[in-house]
A and B are shown apart, each in its own frame.
Chain A
Amino acid sequence: MLKPFLRKWPFLFKFRLFLGLIFFILILFFLYLKVIPFGNITYSRDYVLDLRSGKGFIYGFTPSERIDLKSGDGPRMIGDPIYFSLFTPRTFDKAKLTITYRDNLGLDTSVIESGVLADNIVWRYELKPIDNKALDYLMLRWHKSEGNGYLFLQRNEDYSSPAEWEKDLAQGELKACADGLEKCLAVYNFSPNYNYQITNYQPSVPLVLDKPLRGSHQFFVYLKNETLHLEFSLVDLNQDLKPAPIDIILSSGDKIITRQALADANPQPGSGKTEEKRVILEQKDLPAGVYKVEVKITNDMVIKKIVSSVDHLSFINKVWPVSNEGPLTIYTDANYLQAKALNPASLQTLKFAGRDFKLDEAYKQFYFKTDSLAKDKEIKLVKDDIVLENNGVFAWSSSSLFNPTLPKVDRFFSVNNKFNYIIADYKKPIEEEGVKTATAEFNLKGIYRENGKYSFIISVPGLKTEDGTDDNLEIYKIKIELEGRTLWQKIWH
């Protein structure tokens, strides 16, 4: 019945109807891809084929000097770290990153991690493991148990189950750990439930740190039956045009106890006129233990002075002293030091654990290593304005220095170390004919997103372009599975 009716339609009408239908289908199709009503979508980029009809969603790697696009089938990462961004037409809650790669790395670059930029003020990436060769090696040789969301390795079979081990850990009495937990337990991407205590702790005397520090810093404080009182004097340098908000967070484990935030109206952007600000953080009746204080500020701000009621205060992983004064002594517990001078006037020969190390190029990251067995290593700077970083802590006096974190299975970890237990949240990559595939999951809720893009990092700590070796990480494919709220959830909730 319909056929004779359609036959009467002129060809031009039928052709226009057909093209009109295609037009609306295409528009609806792209609107569907914009809204993603079911909340799930996968974006991928194959670097070997790299056939694309559009720009794609996963953008190229930067910076270009750390990527070799010519030598391999896929781009080769030759320096650490590299970045890429992911464009998404809407926000998502979770991302599962799958990376296919060939690992042409040496033993001193045993860790591969990937992360997403969580905070653009302090430039903090939420890192997740991709590959850890020390763990891969020990998984084949030690007693391995998986479950409870983590991997548990023990040198000897002291415990029949991770639950039994956890019970002893909560009581602080692990078998074969006579010298203390930090000598027998190493962790990776996992924070076990344990309470750090300083034996023979003496009540604190107030501490004044009047050595200015530039940019964000984090530090641990230890207290016992004391009130925590911290006074911060901060200076906004107003050298850039951006506002300089202050956010000071006191936390214990993953729990935020209190925070003090100070917005910046930015009345004099780029003027170079300094503005002084003061923030006080006080918390009473805190149980004995370790607390973390995070001072989140931009690099356009300086922490001029910290007055603390407690004297056990150690900066975590990084310090950037900027007093512009004469010699300065800092203490650290780590055996290596990364140093970068951001000012040619700061180039010098510094002393680390008694040895001289030359810092002779500005903006270049220098790596200094010591075999010193001393607990605290001295860093002597002739002048400051140098960014000092490592995997340990820093303090202005050796009496303030303490490190409550357990040793990590990082690139400095040796499988010959005398640890008896390792606990990690880690999955070994799948390997097929030398090509590895690993996955990492990220929580994207509240994650920084600019111009519709999430920023990702791939990190191989210790991989350097200028070391003369051909160590590299050849990347073949990146796939990102995204999960978010459905359209109905967005409308009704």
Chain B
Amino acid sequence: MAKNLALISRELFYFSSALLLAFIILEIIWPNIILSYLNLNYLFVFAVLTGSIYLIKK
């Protein structure tokens, strides 16, 4: 169970970090295209949270 949680949280951490990076790049190219719809802080918190779970459960 703990192993699965670590695996899932690791994958979610990779996913959210990649998504955050992609959104930041899009935001740099076309300002406000993402921020108008979504506050990237939420995604950042999600990435930190999944990363922390992975580190704890590893």
Determine whether the beta carbon of B35 is less than 8 Å from that of A19: no
Q: Any chain B CB within 8 A of the CB of A413?
A: no
Instruction: Please measure, in the bound complex, the distance between the C-alpha atom of A23 and the C-alpha atom of B22, giving whole angstroms.
Output: 9
Instruction: Please measure, in the bound complex, the distance between the C-alpha atom of A26 and the C-alpha atom of B37, giving whole angstroms.
Output: 12
Min distance, Cβ A479 to any Cβ of chain B, angstroms: 16
Q: Any chain B CB within 8 A of the CB of A27?
A: yes
Determine whether the beta carbon of B11 is less than 8 Å from that of A452: no
User: Which A residues between 1 and 54 are near B, CB-CB below 8 angstroms?
Assistant: 12, 15-16, 19, 22-23, 26-27, 30-31, 33-34, 53-54
Instruction: Please measure, in the bound complex, the distance between the C-alpha atom of A15 and the C-alpha atom of B38, giving whole angstroms.
Output: 25
Determine whether the beta carbon of B33 is less than 8 Å from that of A34: yes
Q: Please, which residue of chain A has its CB at the minimum distance from the CB of B27? A: A30
Q: Any chain B CB within 8 A of the CB of A344?
A: no
Partner of B32, one of A12, A22, A53, A89: A89
Instruction: Please measure, in the bound complex, the distance between the C-alpha atom of A110 and the C-alpha atom of B22, giving whole angstroms.
Output: 51
Measured between beta carbons, the chain A residues less than 8 angstroms from B26 are 27, 30-31, 34
Determine whether the beta carbon of B15 is less than 8 Å from that of A89: no
Partner of B37, one of A15, A19, A31, A53: A53
Measured between beta carbons, the chain A residues less than 8 angstroms from B34 are 30, 54
Determine whether the beta carbon of A54 is less than 8 Å from that of B37: yes
Measured between beta carbons, the chain B residues less than 8 angstroms from A53 are 37-39, 42
Measured between beta carbons, the chain A residues less than 8 angstroms from B23 are 30
Main secondary structure of the interface of B (DSSP, over half): helix
Question: What sequence of 0s and 1s flags, for each residue 40-81 of chain A, a beta carbon within 8 Å of any chain B beta carbon?
Answer: 000000000000011111000000000000000000000000
Q: Any chain A CB within 8 A of the CB of B7?
A: yes
Contact status of A19 and B12, CB under 8 A, knowing A27-B22, A89-B30: yes
Counting chain B residues whose Cβ lies within 8 A of the other chain, the interface size class is 20 to 34
Measured between beta carbons, the chain B residues less than 8 angstroms from A34 are 26, 30, 33
Partner of A54, one of B7, B11, B18, B39: B39
User: Which B residues between 1 and 16 are near A, CB-CB below 8 angstroms?
Assistant: 7-8, 11-12, 14-15
Determine whether the beta carbon of B38 is less than 8 Å from that of A54: yes
Q: Please, which residue of chain B has its CB at the minimum distance from the CB of A52? A: B39
Determine whether the beta carbon of A87 is less than 8 Å from that of B36: yes
Main secondary structure of the interface of A (DSSP, over half): helix
Measured between beta carbons, the chain B residues less than 8 angstroms from A452 are 31-32
Measured between beta carbons, the chain B residues less than 8 angstroms from A451 are 31
Min distance, Cβ B8 to any Cβ of chain A, angstroms: 7
Min distance, Cβ A67 to any Cβ of chain B, angstroms: 22
Min distance, Cβ A13 to any Cβ of chain B, angstroms: 11
Instruction: Please measure, in the bound complex, the distance between the C-alpha atom of A89 and the C-alpha atom of B38, giving whole angstroms.
Output: 14
Determine whether the beta carbon of B36 is less than 8 Å from that of A19: no
Measured between beta carbons, the chain B residues less than 8 angstroms from A23 are 15, 18-19, 22
Instruction: Please measure, in the bound complex, the distance between the C-alpha atom of A404 and the C-alpha atom of B2, giving whole angstroms.
Output: 84
Determine whether the beta carbon of A87 is less than 8 Å from that of B37: no
**Which of B8, B30, B35 counts the most A-chain CB atoms under 10 A from its CB?**
B30
Measured between beta carbons, the chain A residues less than 8 angstroms from B31 are 451-452
Q: Please, which residue of chain B has its CB at the minimum distance from the CB of A57? A: B36
Determine whether the beta carbon of A89 is less than 8 Å from that of B39: no
Instruction: Please measure, in the bound complex, the distance between the C-alpha atom of A53 and the C-alpha atom of B35, giving whole angstroms.
Output: 9
Instruction: Please measure, in the bound complex, the distance between the C-alpha atom of A22 and the C-alpha atom of B15, giving whole angstroms.
Output: 9
Determine whether the beta carbon of A16 is less than 8 Å from that of B32: no
Measured between beta carbons, the chain B residues less than 8 angstroms from A87 are 32, 36
Determine whether the beta carbon of B42 is less than 8 Å from that of A16: no
Measured between beta carbons, the chain A residues less than 8 angstroms from B12 are 19
Measured between beta carbons, the chain A residues less than 8 angstroms from B37 are 30, 33, 53-54
Measured between beta carbons, the chain B residues less than 8 angstroms from A16 are 11
Measured between beta carbons, the chain B residues less than 8 angstroms from A54 are 34-39
Q: Please, which residue of chain A has its CB at the minimum distance from the CB of B34? A: A30
Min distance, Cβ A30 to any Cβ of chain B, angstroms: 6
Instruction: Please measure, in the bound complex, the distance between the C-alpha atom of A16 and the C-alpha atom of B15, giving whole angstroms.
Output: 9
Min distance, Cβ B41 to any Cβ of chain A, angstroms: 10
Min distance, Cβ A231 to any Cβ of chain B, angstroms: 46
Determine whether the beta carbon of B32 is less than 8 Å from that of A19: no
Min distance, Cβ A450 to any Cβ of chain B, angstroms: 12
Partner of B11, one of A12, A30, A55, A57: A12
Determine whether the beta carbon of A26 is less than 8 Å from that of B19: yes
Top 9 A-B pairs, shortest CB-CB distance: A19-B15, A54-B37, A54-B38, A34-B33, A55-B35, A54-B36, A55-B36, A87-B32, A53-B38
Provide 22 A-B residue pairs closer than 8 Å at the C-beta atoms, listed in order of the A residue. A12-B11, A19-B12, A19-B14, A23-B19, A26-B19, A27-B26, A30-B23, A33-B37, A34-B26, A53-B38, A53-B42, A54-B35, A54-B38, A54-B39, A55-B32, A55-B35, A57-B36, A87-B36, A89-B30, A89-B33, A89-B36, A451-B31
| Supplied contacts A53-B37, A55-B32, A87-B36, 4 more A-B pairs, CB within 8 Å | A12-B11, A15-B8, A54-B34, A89-B36
B residues at A contact (CB < 8 Å): 7-8, 11-12, 14-15, 18-19, 22-23, 26, 30-39, 42
A residues at B contact (CB < 8 Å): 12, 15-16, 19, 22-23, 26-27, 30-31, 33-34, 53-57, 87, 89, 451-452
